[in-house]
Amino acid sequence: MFNSLLKDTNHRQVLFFCITIILFSFIITLLSDLFSINFISTSFIKTLGKTLCLCVIALSMDVVWGYCGILSLGHFAFFGLGGYMIGMWLMYKRTEIIVLTASISESLPLTPQEISDAIGNQIFGVVGGSEIPLIWAYADNFYFQLAMVILIPGLLAFVFGWLAFRSRVTGVYLSILTQAMTLALSLYLFQNDSGLRGNNGLSGLQNIPGYDDTSQFVISIYFFWASALFLILVFIFFFYLVNSKFGSIITAIRDDETRIRFLGYHVESYKLFVFVLTAVISALAGALYYPQAGIINPAEIAPIASIYLAVWVAIGGRGNLYGAIIGAASVSLISSWFTSGQAPSISLIFYKIEWVNWWTVILGLGFVIVTLISREGIFGFLKSIFIRKV
Amino acid sequence: MNIYRYIDLFVDGISLSSIYFLGAIGLAITFGVMRVINMAHGEFIMMGAYTGYVVQQYIPNHTISILIALPLAFIITFGAGVLLERLVIRHLYKNPLDTLLATFGISIALQQLAKNIFGTQARPLTAPSWLDGALSINDDLSISYIRIAIILMGILFLLLLLFIMNRTRLGLEIRAVTQNPIMASNMGINPDRINMLTFGFGSAIAGIAGVAIGLFSKVTSELGTEYIVQSFMTVVVGGVGNIFGTLAGAALIGFLQKIIEWFNPSNTLAAQTYMIIFIILFIQFRPRGIFALKGRVKDV
């Protein structure tokens, strides 16, 4: 039976993908373990783990845009919300531990009210408050916040999508509307009285409560593996989704919405489903991403982030799951290499080229060239070379 | 509470609307008329503002330098717009969403270039001294001259644009090409040339608006990003393809924001948030904006 499964090229492709990612994760883990810990630094493992999460949101973007034809410029809003929801638990729990540890030396045990006041002071002192806002009421409950990671972005996507698709806002208008949504959310979170610490955002998320004795290195390996496994799961899910009958319908909606509507399909429901589904998966990716990043603030969900996301997918190759992963991984890794100042600068006689300053210029022009030359991005380009050889 | 407070609010609303109008008017042409999503529009505004700054470095007299900067900004951004159209956008007319990606690339490249040339700190673009001060009518009501100048500038732009679109040969040809390029070319109009000029013209207007915007806000490389989303919303809310639509959109957004701020003066961020939420809801009821094009318009 296993053999017959493997005969299908689809299953072979999925298996090949899973093996590649797992091998890659093993190699990274081994390299960091076998040689001294510094051979692959903790921060580099975090970067890799974060990149895997970005690959997941790129997959979501690819499904919603490349397959369903909805150019959403707001998926980073869901990603960020997911991060905020898990960040609330991380920050609350950690502050609680700090407060309790500090109170051991005192003669009288603290009353619950005193504990809550101290936590409020610690977290909200920076925005000039000490009361714990209502939205933090269950922040000490991991499962509640985990549910919120799915529910809040899912609900936002549902309400927004329902309104937008119902009145048949399509194409460019929808893109601008989603952009407005993410701008509104980030502006809202920038306020100090939004209850989420304004422009300070949530910080210290890299410290996982209950794992205080575990070194950051080990935690980063855990998160790296979690991200890799999540990427594999999402890939398998999306792969079979887009290759199913459902996938054919959403691709057809992308190509000719009106015709599909006249064939009797309820186009709006399909679009709404895809929009909400990808939003929730983006949120989960965000919940895995921000503990590795350590900090989240409203600037993360500014409209430009979501445009970058669209560009990654376009560069990698839209309408193709591998393309999304290639695009997100290559562009974000190369960008972080160039902008972190690791790239050697080139000295010309009259001018010294600092990559930190010039990388964005090259990247921008690269976007233009890819858009002009190949609609199918890097993956389409590679495929055309490969097919010519055969 | 007296009547002057309301007048003050009204003037506030008009001047904010004028700012949105100035930011969006170039887009009303490139996006509204040509349906090109030019994400680099904000960077043309920035280019105009920096032109004003550079001119002031050479000409200390602020009045003369502004008078020189306005046409210079027009020429520079017109050239940049034409260049962009020829090199990039010309190849992408069939896919409006692709122009979004390509022009976004241009946008971040231009932003970084500006950062490399002028640094990250804000550069001053000083208004002439006769624009300082305010017209004070009484204790409750005083209107700064710069606000009046912005309002006048907005009106001037509106009239200029209406004149060009409705009363000149170029405007006629632009309208012909956007309505039906094939028929227009049968009538002896070269659509290629008109597209180039239209895009250049839209960009040039953004450049002039940039000089005006630079007078009251800080000139930084991020100036454009502050205006781009609002500008697109202004055009969409007003109704694509209609100059009066853009005016109506700017007025709606500007007044709305001022009124929300009036109820909660300490919090301008909240006002912007509610304004955007209102716009999202508004689009539900009028997906094609205030002034919708009549007839069966094919979706973009």
Contact A371 B97 (CB under 8 A): no
Q: Pick the closest to residue A251 from A232, A269, A270, A224 (CA basis).
A: A270
Chain B hits for A166, Cβ within 8 Å: 284
ipTM: 0.85
Number of structural domains (chain A) is 1
Q: Is residue B290 part of a domain?
A: no
Query: What is the distance between the alpha carbons of residues A223 and A218, in angstroms, rounded to a whole number?
Result: 9
Residues 6+ apart with CB under 8 A from A320: A62, A66, A376, A379, A380
Instruction: Show the tokens assigned to B26.
Output: 């170039």
* Contact indicator for B271, B257 with CB cutoff of 8 Å: yes
Instruction: Show the tokens assigned to B139.
Output: 């204790």
Residues 6+ apart with CB under 8 A from B134: B142, B143, B144, B145
Q: What is the pLDDT of residue A247?
A: 94
Number of structural domains (chain B) is 1
3-state SS, residue A129: coil
Q: Closest to A167 (Cβ–Cβ): which among B233, B279, B284? A: B284
Query: What is the distance between the alpha carbons of residues A180 and B228, in angstroms, rounded to a whole number?
Result: 11
Query: What is the distance between the alpha carbons of residues A64 and A310, in angstroms, rounded to a whole number?
Result: 11
Q: What is the pLDDT of residue A7?
A: 61
* Summary mean pLDDT of chain B: 86
The one-letter code for the residue type at A39 is F
B69: pLDDT strictly greater than 60: yes
Domain span including residue A174: 2-389
Q: Pick the closest to residue B103 from B119, B91, B115 (CA basis).
A: B91
Q: Closest to A363 (Cβ–Cβ): which among B108, B115, B232? A: B108
Query: What is the distance between the alpha carbons of residues B73 and B65, in angstroms, rounded to a whole number?
Result: 12
Q: What is the pLDDT of residue B146?
A: 82
Q: Closest to A311 (Cβ–Cβ): which among B104, B277, B300? A: B104
Instruction: Show the tokens assigned to B191.
Output: 């659509």
What does the pLDDT average to over B148-159?
88
Q: Is residue B10 part of a domain?
A: yes
3-state SS, residue B194: helix
Angle formed by the axes of helices A321-339 and A303-316, nearest 10°: 120
Q: How far is CA B205 from the centre of its chain?
A: 7
B83: pLDDT strictly greater than 50: yes
* Dihedral sign from CA coordinates of B243, B249, B252, B253: negative
Q: Is residue B291 part of a domain?
A: no
Instruction: Show the tokens assigned to B188.
Output: 């002896």
Report pLDDT digits (tens) over A92-134: 998 888 888 888 877 777 788 888 888 888 888 887 777 788 8
Instruction: Show the tokens assigned to A147.
Output: 């549910």
What single string gives the DSSP state of each residue in A201-216? Answer: -EE-TTS-TT-TTS-H
Instruction: Show the tokens assigned to B23.
Output: 């930011």
Per-residue pLDDT band at B1 (split at 50, 70, 90): low
Contact B287 A358 (CB under 8 A): no
Q: Pick the closest to residue A246 from A274, A218, A204 (CA basis).
A: A274
Q: Is residue B157 part of a domain?
A: yes
Q: Closest to A360 (Cβ–Cβ): which among B100, B108, B233? A: B108
Chain A hits for B116, Cβ within 8 Å: 357-358, 361
Contact A367 B102 (CB under 8 A): yes
* Contact indicator for A189, A298 with CB cutoff of 8 Å: yes
Q: What is the pLDDT of residue A37?
A: 56
Lowest-confidence segment of A58-67, A283-292, B64-73, B289-298 by average pLDDT? B289-298
Q: What is the pLDDT of residue B300?
A: 42
Q: Give the ranges where chain A is alpha helix by DSSP (H).
A: 2-7, 9-34, 42-61, 75-103, 112-124, 142-166, 171-190, 216-242, 245-255, 257-262, 267-293, 303-316, 321-339, 355-373, 377-389
Q: By CB neighbour count within 10 A (0-12 exposed, 13-18 middle, 19+ buried), where does A107 fall? A: exposed
Compute, in degrees rounded to 10, the torsion defined by CA atoms B181, A374, A334, A230. 100
Per-residue pLDDT band at B299 (split at 50, 70, 90): very low
Q: What is the pLDDT of residue A4?
A: 58
Contact A172 B35 (CB under 8 A): yes
Lowest-confidence segment of A5-14, A69-78, A306-315 by average pLDDT? A5-14
Using a CB–CB cut-off of 8 Å, the residues of A that contact B are: 71, 160, 163-164, 166-173, 175-177, 179-181, 183-184, 187-188, 190-191, 193, 303-304, 307, 310-311, 314, 357-358, 360-368, 371-372, 375
Domain span including residue B233: 3-285
Report pLDDT digits (tens) over A310-322: 989 988 888 889 9
CA angle A272, A273, A277 (to 5 degrees): 115
To probe the interface with B, which of A76, A178, A187, A190 has the most B CB atoms within 10 Å? A187
3-state SS, residue A111: coil
Q: Provide the pairing of β-strand B134-136 with A295-296.
A: unpaired
Q: Is residue B64 part of a domain?
A: yes
What does the pLDDT average to over A162-175?
86
Per-residue pLDDT band at A267 (split at 50, 70, 90): very high
B138: pLDDT strictly greater than 80: no
Q: How far is CA B224 from the centre of its chain?
A: 10
Q: What is the pLDDT of residue B216?
A: 81
* Summary mean pLDDT of chain A: 87
Percent of chain B's residues with pLDDT above 90: 30
Q: Pick the closest to residue A94 from A202, A193, A190, A225 (CA basis).
A: A202
* Contact indicator for A155, A149 with CB cutoff of 8 Å: no
The H-or-E segment that residue B94 falls in is none
**B138/B126: higher pLDDT:** B126
